[in-house]
Amino acid sequence: MKAIRRTSQFKRDVKRMQRRGKDLAKLKRVLASLAMGEVLAAKYRDRVLVGQYRGTRECHIEADWLLIYESAESETILIRTGAHSDLFQ
């Protein structure tokens, strides 16, 4: 099982998504899969990012709710979460 580390920005992003009424159980399901080291299902559209977030991965929790993370052998670092407009300006 991998350790999950959350950045301060990620924690603020989660609070913002909660205020917007998002179902955090969906996020928790993805985080559980990442912690177990599982490959995410195709519906999450997991991919490698380039540009500003080079070297990280992105997956879709919902159509306009993303998770940006970095995955190493022993831990997963949760960097950001939010809508496209929150993350890519």
Strand partners, 48: 57
Domain 3-87 has CATH 3.30.2310.20: yes
> What residues are labeled active site?
84
pLDDT digits (tens, 9 = 90+) for 29-83: 999 999 999 999 999 999 999 988 999 999 999 999 999 999 988 999 999 999 9
Contact 61, 13 (CB under 8 A): no
pLDDT confidence of residue 89: 77
Domain assignments of the chain as residue spans, ordered by start: 3-87
